[in-house]
Amino acid sequence: MKTVHASLDAVEQVKDVAEQIPGLIAGRKYLTATELVISSLAILDTELSDVDALQQVSVVFSLVLFKRLILR
């Protein structure tokens, strides 16, 4: 079982990515933005999959990525 500290570190990593995405997209760094979203989704699907409050976050990341990168 994971420690609370490890879970909080994973949440912090995902939060940081959410703050970086708009700047990367504005700078047309689409590949970097995509890689960060994919790595965050992997964290959400593995390390944080047991946290009920974060289950919707992966859906939001997917929608943001689709909306920002594909619909442009």
What are the residue boundaries of the structural domains of the chain, listed by start?
4-70
From CA 18, how far away is CA 34, in angstroms rounded? 12
Residue matched to tokens 């912090």:
12
Residue closest to 72 by CA, chosen among 34, 18, 16: 34
Per-residue pLDDT 10s for the chain (72 aa) are: 457 777 778 778 877 887 888 898 899 998 998 898 888 888 777 766 777 766 677 677 677 766 766 665
This prediction has a pTM of: 0.64
- What pLDDT does 20 receive? 87
